[in-house]
Amino acid sequence: MLSSQPPPTAPATKPGSSKKSRNKKKKAAAAAARNKSSDISSPPVPAPVPASFDFANKSAEAEKMRSFFANIKRDSVLVSANADYVHTKPSFGFLTNHQLHAVLPVLESRPALLSDRIFSQGPRPVDHPFSVQITLDTLKEKMLASPQTMEPEDALMSEAEAAAEKITKFTNCDVLRNGKIVKDETLWVRGGKIVDPASLFYETERGPDEIVDFKGRKTLIVPGFIDIQLNGYFGYDFADTDKIEESLDVVSRGLLKYGVTSFCPTLVSSPAEVYHDVLPKIALRKGKRSGHAEVLGAHIEGPFLAPPKKGAHDKYTLKSCPNGYQDMLDCYGPSLEAADSAVQIITVASEVEGMHTCIYELKQRNKNIVVSLGHTQARFKDAEAALNCGATMITHLFNAMEPFHHRDPGPVGLIGCSLTSSGVDKPYYGIIADGVHADPASVRIAYVAHPDGCILVTDAIAAAGMEGDVFSLGTMTVRRISEVEVVIDGTNTLAGSVVTMPYCIKNLVRFTGCTLAQAINAATIAPATSIGISDRKGTLMPNTDADFVILDEFDEMDPSAFSIADVYVNGEKVQF
Amino acid sequence: MRLIIKDNYDDVCRYTSEYILNRINEFNPSPERPFVIGLPTGSSPLGVYKKLVHFHREGMLSFKNVITFNMDEYVHLPRDHPESYHSFMWENLFKHVDIPPQNVNILDGNAKDLERECTEYEAKIAAVGGIELFLGGIGPDGHIAFNEPGSSLSSRTRIKTLAYETIIANSRFFGGDVNKVPKLSLTVGVGTVMDAREVVILISGAGKALALAKCIEEGVNHMWTVSAIQLHPRGMIVCDDDATLELHVKTVKYFKSIEKVHRLLTTEESKVGMDGKVRYSATSK
């Protein structure tokens, strides 16, 4: 309430006129607040209280207001949050002049700061001689009425955008992030990606739209499993090139219930025409699709393999590459060199003629393609040389290769070689942990020698997930002789497997004594890093794909026990 | 000023967190009338935050209508740096509670115009009606927030150069390398803290004993900036036994005796609330 100081036009303290003058003061303050510049440029001139405020003429009013404030000897202004302070008992806050000069220019540009908040203390003396009231809600009303105060976020978003922007928070769970279990953690998902909640909190100032709370249940969220070697599943064989689209579709949907959210379709040794035909088709299908596991690039196993170690491959398709890289290009076709190539991993036998130069040149031309050693008779020195040429992985360690000999460890010895002798990192190695392809003791030895390099693969064939005994694998016929054992019909040669990834994970824990987290790492972060996609998969770090599996039903007695409760691909829950 | 002397750090945290819990619940914040609290960072308030999170999990405390203002932030340290105060507050408090993001205010050390950021911060505090309770810690040199010795006792939010001693003390969070520690910070001023309607300072450990003694037994002095609390109408210091090592025995006994009486008064049916306010109930005469 303005006191009866010098300006004769100042209204007396009559209820009626005081209210009017109060309103005028409010408008003036609003006008002042609207003005952008914060400093008082005009010299202090004893200005009378303006009789009326011309709202339209904002800058002039603001100028008057500013100079008026500048003249207030005591630097204090009362700010009332109450519209009507005569009939109700208001609370007042107290702003120093310094603060007011800070407040006014900012309030004008940030109307969201205004509120009807009432200060909590008792009322300050209302009749302070030099005090002026600004009613916040009137200010707010005026400011929000003008269109330019609309915040950009208030603009309407299309429904699709809104859905994509939906933020889901998973809380009260443990999260396996970047290879380590973080207890009592939260996971935030938006638009198919994991988001950093702190950035979300501070930048967009949005909380979660949906909260999934696992309170009371011991739950672990892990990245989706990545299978980099499987030849088929559910009766579909990827080598059956006529039905490749259908195979990929069925398999990528069916694998989700095993927690596998991305995989490399594997092709056994085939004639060149097959590769020319199928690789472009895989290139088309590569990538994400709603409700399906993501199809990563193909794992081409062959045909540059050692005939004595062909396993279940057709020996008539095997070849060598005396002309080096050119032979490889002729065999696989131009897809090999395409920008977003359908080829992710190539398994070769390093002792095949011309293979070393071939590997070297392949790696020079396409750093993303991973060269893996397998189906090989190479000795340790040869395998080491291949490693130096650019090979970085071993296909199903122990299988289809020379066994470990203490004086010549063969390819198996690569996981024991030291940096000083070879100059490159130890290779990753695939392990088919079904207990059949490698004895548990062998798996344990390999794991202990190089735990970070262990990649769990299923090497599953079409027979997996199916009932029955006789199936085809490429051009061969295979027969299931026990629950997990499949051999070439009429022989004892193992032909792929029929295991699931969760089974392999549990086995790794049982065989090696590692923790469940470490075993899951062998199915997530290790394969992701080996094929160079750890920036978007396998870690659950911010900005990676929101492919994850929710595990529960753990058992204190049995560290390998778990059950898959839910699977999310690209942030969407999968129904299965 | 109240000086609450507890036995150890854990008791200090328990008392402070229960005090804050009761203050917020007695205030009964609503969207129109939120509880505005000022928050510190560092090792002292960690225990308090843990207990507040615990209260929230038990359903005893909601942060929906609580607005927070932090004391300080480093300049030119990326916001998602693990040692930034944004990260600290997220990890230790905001992540676990239901505070709406728009209620959180922390100075932005990467703002284009740092001075404007400081004035805007003051404006925001004023816009929400001022701070109801400012929680703080104290440095071994008696500073509050980053108001190093020599800071004006009427200072407002501003850019501040860090004292070399502070940089050395903070280097433990930056891998022991003093060159990695930011040299500038934005901090609320002593005046800003003392403008709050209540100030609660946590002081624990023998390293703070001298600072505590200088701040409460000697005069108001810009060399020990927390001493400005002597002029605050509702100041409270919660400290543990170790922090009283430099105080006169008389001071310690005096405050302990006051608190003993206060404890007798503050029961469920009592007329005196935790904050010392006298309550008037309908049935009282």
A146-194 pLDDT, tens digit each: 544 444 444 444 545 655 578 888 988 899 999 899 888 889 998 889 9
Which pLDDT belongs to residue A198? 86
pLDDT in tens, A81-102: 333 334 333 333 444 444 555 5
Provide DSSP, A186-232.
EEEEETTEEE-HHHIIIII----SEEEE-TTS--EEEEPEEEEEE-E
Is some CB atom of chain A closer than 8 A to the CB atom of B177? no
d(CA B30, CA B34): 5
pLDDT digits (tens, 9 = 90+) for B26-47: 999 998 889 999 999 988 999 9
Rounded Cα distance between B51 and B92, Å, is 11
Highest-confidence segment of B94-108, B165-179, B241-255:
B241-255
pLDDT at residue B14, as a whole number: 95
The answer to whether B104 contacts chain A (CB < 8 Å) is yes
| Percentage of chain A lying above the pLDDT 70 cut | 70
**B275 within a domain of the structure (yes/no):** no
pLDDT 10s digits, B84-131: 999 999 999 998 888 988 899 999 999 999 988 999 899 889 888 889
Residue B46 has a pLDDT of 95
Kindly determine whether residue A196 and residue B80, on different chains, have CB atoms separated by under 8 Å: yes
In order of A223, A426, A430, A445, the CA distances from A451 in angstroms are 19, 11, 12, 10
Residue from B56, B86, B143, B222 carrying the catalytic annotation: B143
Q: Average of pLDDT values for A16-22? A: 49
pLDDT surpassing 60 at residue B285 = no
Work out the burial of residue A16: count CB atoms within 10 Å of its CB; fewer than 13 is exposed, 13-18 middle, 19 or more buried.
Answer: exposed
DSSP state of A94: E
Q: Given this model, what pLDDT does residue A7 score?
A: 43
Asked if A198 lies within 8 A of B80 by C-beta distance, the reply is yes
Query: Which residue of chain B has the CA closest to A119?
Result: B129
**Residues A279, A268: Cα–Cα separation, whole Å:** 13
pLDDT, position A433:
93
Q: What is the residue whose two structure tokens read 């959180």?
A: B104
Q: Which amino acid is at A251?
A: V
pLDDT in tens, A224-239: 999 999 998 988 888 8
Q: Are strands B133-136 and A236-237 parallel, antiparallel or unpaired?
A: unpaired
Give me the residue spans of the domains in chain A: 19-149, 224-464+523-544
Task: Name the minimum distance, in Å, from the CA of B178 to any CA of chain A.
Answer: 26
Q: Which of B99, B128, B152 to mutate to test the interface with A (most CBs of A within 10 A)?
A: B128
* A483 pLDDT tier (thresholds 50, 70, 90): confident
pLDDT above 80 (res A542): yes
Q: Is the pLDDT of residue B215 over 50?
A: yes
Average pLDDT over residues B67-71: 95
Residue A193 bridge partners (DSSP)? A190, A545
A-contacting residues in B 65-94 (Cβ below 8 Å): 79-80, 86-87, 90-91, 94
Q: Which pLDDT value is given to residue A465?
A: 83
Residue A27's pLDDT is 52
**Half-sphere exposure (Cβ direction) of A503: Cα atoms closer than 13 Å:** 17
Q: Which residues of A are catalytic?
A: 459
Mean pLDDT across chain A, nearest whole number?
Answer: 77
Q: Domain total for chain B?
A: 1
Residue A95 to residue B126, Cβ atoms within 8 A:
yes
Percentage of chain A exceeding pLDDT 90: 33
* Angstrom distance (rounded) from CA A80 to CA A64: 21
Which range of residues forms the domain containing residue B75? 2-247
- Taking CA atoms, what residue in A is nearest to B132? A120
Mutate to test the interface with B, among A88, A115, A136, A195 (most CBs of B within 10 A): A115
Q: Which CATH number goes with the domain that contains B165?
A: 3.40.50.1360
- The whole-number pLDDT of residue A36 equals 40
Q: Which of A377, A400, A379, A387 is nearest to A428 (CA)?
A: A387
Record the tokens describing residue A184, joined without a space: 């009592």
* Lowest pLDDT segment from A42-46, A75-79, B189-193: A75-79
What pLDDT shows up at residue A3?
42
Average pLDDT over residues B56-83: 93
Average pLDDT, chain B: 90
Once rounded to an integer, what is the mean pLDDT over residues A470-483? 78
pTM of the model: 0.71
Tokens at A522, concatenated: 């062998």
Most confident of A47-56, A266-275, B64-73: B64-73
Q: Is residue B269 part of a domain?
A: no
Q: Which of A38, A202, A207 sits opposite B86 (nearest CB)?
A: A202
pLDDT tens string A556-569:
888 889 999 999 99
Known catalytic membership, residue B222: no
- Is B28 an 8 Å CB contact of chain A? no
The per-residue pLDDT for A200 is: 82
ipTM surpasses 0.85: no
What is the pLDDT confidence band of residue A457, given thresholds at 50, 70 and 90?
A: very high
In this predicted structure, what is the pLDDT of residue A492? Answer: 84
Confidence at residue B274, expressed as pLDDT on a 0 to 100 scale: 64
- Report yes or no: B32 at the A interface, CB cutoff 8 Å: yes
Q: Can you give the pLDDT at residue A125?
A: 39
In a domain? residue B272? no
Q: Is the pLDDT of residue A486 over 50?
A: yes
What average pLDDT does the segment B138-150 reach?
A: 90
Give the confidence band of B76 by pLDDT, cuts at 50, 70, 90: very high
Assign domain A224-464+523-544 to a CATH class.
alpha beta
Hey, is the C-beta of B241 within 8 angstroms of any chain A C-beta?
no
B54 to chain A, any CB pair closer than 8 A? The answer is no
Q: Give the pLDDT band of residue B159 (cuts 50, 70, 90).
A: very high
